[in-house]
Structure 1
Amino acid sequence: MPLGIDRTHFYAEKVKRQEKEIHAKDERVAQLETENAMLYLKLAQLHGTVQSVRQENSSLNGQVESEQQFRSDVSGTAIKLHRELETIRNDLRSLQSIAIDIPEEFQKYTTQANKVVQRHRQVFQSQNSSMTSLQSQVTNMELALQEITERHAKEKKRRQELHNILMELRGNIRVHCRIRPLMEFDCGNEDSGSLGKPGTRSEVVVHFVDDENVCCRTAKHNKVFEYERVFSPTESQNDIFEEVQPMLTSLLDGYNICIMAYGQTGSGKTHTMLGSHKNEDYNPSRDPHRDEGVIPRAARELFRLISEKQSATHKIEVSVLEIYNNEIRDLLSNDPSIKHDINTSTDGTVSVPTLSSKQVDTVYDVMCLVQHGLRTRRESATMVHEHSSRSHLVVTLTVISQAPSFFSKTSSGSSQDLQRDIRGRSYSTSSAPNLGNLSNTWSGADQSAASVPGMGAVIRTKLQLVDLAGSECVGMSGVKGAALREASNINKSLSALADVLGALAEHRSHVPYRNTRLTHLLQDSIGGDAKLLVLLCVSPAQRYITESLQCLGFGTRARQVQRGPTKRRLPSSAEKVDSSSVRPRSASTATGPSFIPKPT
């Protein structure tokens, strides 16, 4: 038998079974012996009976013969029983011999089993000591890893802070990238059941690496793009706005801000900027909707920051325009025939004098104006996207703030007392009117700003929120006729935007801002002293790989633009508010937009 197998239980059971069999056979033997004795007794009785019968009646020969026959039968039975008894005795002797050997074999196997158990016990004790040592090492490594993780988080945060400081000092354009989830329409003409499967046009090729890197993986190459922030497909609208929110504080500190969404058709630009603006149940006066975009969240945050300031020291105006077929359309004007020209001042400031602007007091007012403009914005269905935007949307929130008192100090009211801003522009605070001259623009409740002592000059800063039209491949979108002309103008303006960034990155002497209305309108934001944030929106699907690479390349080119330090807006002669510089407004605009509906 093979060693190492514990057969103790088997032999114990076998011994018990054999003992039971022996006991049963012993009982059988006793029973047979009893029966044999009874038979012998009966035989003796029969012999006596035969003798008596012979003596009494010798004539009963037939009975004697049958008696003899019976005797022979009994003898045969006795012989048979005797043979069985002998067989049982032989079996019993065999079992007894086996039972004698069982204890020796049991002792032998027990000794071997004890040796195996002892050997395994020693191995277990050795492994247990090794396990204890390993557990101690793992505990120490976990503590070290936790310490390193905390240090890494601190260093990462410190690096981000230093990077932000560096970006602030260098004044570079900030570029963020958002990867949208894979959608059903990414399949194109394929079965929606193949969504995301390898080898299909809807296969995911744009991958989120970390919060600063995105990788475009194709059969030919893997290319990694680095930006200030990369958002994965699972990150929410609130995660996007958390990166935008700090810039709004700079707006009230006197800096111009521009946030634009760039990407192909259907990549999520409008969703990122506006969110659930077409939801019938959406009401911006209530708490923010989870799908609310950058524009309503920025307006809400801006009003929150203003509420923390001194009362009646800040006013906000809103304008909404679109650039359609390289023409500016005022989406808040009732007269679409007005031609709008862009004016560029000597200091590089860009303005559209004929553009309508409305004063707003709440985020609800802002979104009502935006939604009014969206109802007239040019949209059409293409093979790529059902609600493709055919124009560039620009929402501008202009903040008019009262300048601090040190900007409006004068020396004995002398008109020769001039102050200069950081760009060398001069203004005379002795002739600067206070905000009481805005009575033709703001409501009577707003004229209380004039009663604030030492607040004469004003500062105008603007927040430009741009939802660019999507770049698209004409062959893929399937547009024809007027839509083809729209697509041509969209691609031309976006190409001009890329050319402007290329010229700025290469420090060319001439930057082609005026090639299109879009680049001309955004001249002071792209190449001026505004803080610019570009939100790249890309689709992860294989069928849009060309457009995605173009969009990611655009972001890389934008990051290469190096501008001077971002400058604060200071009051100047051109920025002071008086009766000659304020555009007259109709009575309908004196207290806000006349077409704002009641909240539902």
Structure 2
Amino acid sequence: MPAAAEDERVRVFARIRPPQASTLTAAATTKRDDRRVTVSNPTAAISSRREFRVDKVFDATATNEDVYLGVGAPILDAVLAGCHGSILAYGQSGSGKTYSMLNDDGDVAAAGIVPRAAVDLFKRVRFDQAYVYDIAISMVQIYNETAIDLLTNSGASLKATQRKDGAGGFELADCEWRHCRDAVDLLGNFRRGRTNLIYAETKMNRHSSRSHCVLLVRVNRVSRAASSSTDESTGCKLYTQLQGLLTIVDMAGSERAKKSQSQGVRFNEATHINGSLLTFGNVVHALAEKQMHVPFRDSMLTKLLESSLSGRSRTALIVCVAPETEHAHESITSLELAARCMRVESRPIV
């Protein structure tokens, strides 16, 4: 089945991280051109070479600024127009997802999508004299199938309930929302939330995310000038209001127990991570094939992603892959999901 038109489907991007310094072999995963990735797998039973087409390929020379301008900025455009916009990162452990999405290590040039979106959002708002904006942030992690508020750090689990705003899907009704006056305020909340994320060292990744991170930015926009309409009961002028929602998700990386050598608590975490990612893949498959039943309810991750994937959001998926031959199998698996996601329809509504 062919991909839908670009403006009517999920936009899909591939990012190939730089090879690790200790790697001496030729890269298995490479950029063929701006829209094609090739993966050679000489370790397979039958040596193979696969090619995948996406909307854009970012190779090892691409910067986080390049990724934000190509992926993040267009999604922010939709949010400021009153739509739901989503940016999702997917890939195996250690492939560069968190660096692309959340990096905030003090090097401005290496800032990830979240810090760049925060600065860009308030820059645009500051120069828009036609509207008054109210901006708020919420941040949760999904750890072992439990949603936990990162801004309060209470440790209490949050319950997913059906959304009441007509956008469809689920929301965490009891999560904390913090109003933000400027980018410094938003980033302060983001940094406090990030300190509560759960990381651990595994054989595959020295700083492995053990949970999925979900950040929400709500943007309410009200016209400064009264419209021509008047409330008949009060005689007051009516104002035009739009609400946009930005959803940014850094999914924990898939990992094979044999490679990560996870045991005990780490193995239990990996089991939950892989299970939720399997459900995510099943959801993408069902949507791509236009199946009647889509298993959104089978994991907490996909419950919260229903409004991003059910066709009413401007959504971008960044699939991060590692270039080394030893990761060729995982790269192929990730890019196969990317190919299916190219067929998931998405027509955002205001």
Question: Which residue, 388, 395, 412 being the options, matches 2:215?
Answer: 395
- What per-residue deviation string (whole Å, max 9, x for no partner) do you get for residues 368-426 of structure 1? 2111111111110000000000000011110011158787824x615xxxxxxxxxxxx
SS in 1 for 2:348: coil
Counterpart-to-counterpart distance in 2, 1:383 and 1:509: 40
* TM-aligned CA distance change 1:530 to 1:178, over 3 Å: same
Aligned residue runs from structure 1 range 29-68, under 5 A: none
* TM-aligned CA distance change 1:324 to 1:310, over 3 Å: same
SS in 1 for 2:118: helix
RMSD: 2.2
| Amino acid in structure 2 at the alignment position of 1:538 | V
Deviation (angstroms), 1:528: 3.5
Question: Which residue, 178, 182, 193 being the options, matches 2:15?
Answer: 178
- What per-residue deviation string (whole Å, max 9, x for no partner) do you get for residues 124-173 of structure 1? xxxxxxxxxxxxxxxxxxxxxxxxxxxxxxxxxxxxxxxxx9422xx200
Question: Which residue, 144, 167, 184 being the options, matches 2:6?
Answer: 167
Structure 1 or 2: more strand by fraction: 2
| Amino acid in structure 2 at the alignment position of 1:394 | V
Contact 2:130 2:223 in 1 (8 A): no
SS in 2 for 1:369: helix
Counterpart-to-counterpart distance in 1, 2:336 and 2:153: 40
Residue 212 (structure 1) aligned with residue 35 (structure 2):
yes
- The residue aligned with 1:535 is 318
Counterpart-to-counterpart distance in 2, 1:340 and 1:333: 15
* TM-aligned CA distance change 1:399 to 1:500, over 3 Å: same
Contact 1:348 1:528 in 2 (8 A): no
- The residue aligned with 1:369 is 189
Counterpart-to-counterpart distance in 2, 1:566 and 1:251: 10
Counterpart-to-counterpart distance in 1, 2:189 and 2:55: 32
Aligned residue runs from structure 1 range 345-356, under 5 A: 345=164, 348-356=168-176
Deviation (angstroms), 1:562: 2.4
Question: Which residue, 262, 271, 287 being the options, matches 1:479?
Answer: 262
Counterpart-to-counterpart distance in 1, 2:336 and 2:54: 11
Contact 1:342 1:353 in 2 (8 A): yes
* Alignment TM-score, normalising by the size of structure 2: 0.92
- The residue aligned with 1:360 is 180
Counterpart-to-counterpart distance in 2, 1:490 and 1:497: 11
Counterpart-to-counterpart distance in 2, 1:304 and 1:548: 37
- What per-residue deviation string (whole Å, max 9, x for no partner) do you get for residues 508-532 of structure 1? 1111100000000110111131101
- The residue aligned with 2:51 is 224
- In structure 2, stretches of 5+ residues that fail to align are none
| Amino acid in structure 2 at the alignment position of 1:258 | S
Greater relative contact order structure (CA < 8 Å, 6+ sep)? 2
SS in 2 for 1:464: strand
Deviation (angstroms), 1:347: 5.4
Residue 498 (structure 1) aligned with residue 281 (structure 2):
yes
| Amino acid in structure 2 at the alignment position of 1:261 | A
Counterpart-to-counterpart distance in 1, 2:228 and 2:145: 41
Counterpart-to-counterpart distance in 2, 1:507 and 1:370: 36
Identity of paired residues, percent? 30
Contact 2:131 2:221 in 1 (8 A): no
* Alignment TM-score, normalising by the size of structure 1: 0.54
Counterpart-to-counterpart distance in 2, 1:559 and 1:273: 21
- In structure 1, stretches of 5+ residues that fail to align are 1-164, 185-191, 198-202, 283-287, 415-429, 432-452, 569-600
Deviation (angstroms), 1:337: 2.4
- The residue aligned with 2:137 is 318
Deviation (angstroms), 1:341: 2.8
- What per-residue deviation string (whole Å, max 9, x for no partner) do you get for residues 451-478 of structure 1? xx95535322110111110001111001
SS in 1 for 2:173: coil
* TM-aligned CA distance change 1:247 to 1:473, over 3 Å: same
| Amino acid in structure 1 at the alignment position of 2:101 | M
* TM-aligned CA distance change 1:229 to 1:534, over 3 Å: same
Question: Which residue, 470, 491, 495 being the options, matches 2:253?
Answer: 470
* TM-aligned CA distance change 1:454 to 1:222, over 3 Å: farther
Contact 1:317 1:358 in 2 (8 A): yes
Question: Which stretches of structure 1, 4 residues or longer, exceed 4 Å deviation after superposition?
Answer: 403-408
Deviation (angstroms), 1:255: 1.3
- What per-residue deviation string (whole Å, max 9, x for no partner) do you get for residues 225-283 of structure 1? 110000111111111111121221221111110001111100000000122x2x3xx2x
Counterpart-to-counterpart distance in 2, 1:224 and 1:540: 14
Deviation (angstroms), 1:196: 2.5
| Amino acid in structure 2 at the alignment position of 1:380 | A
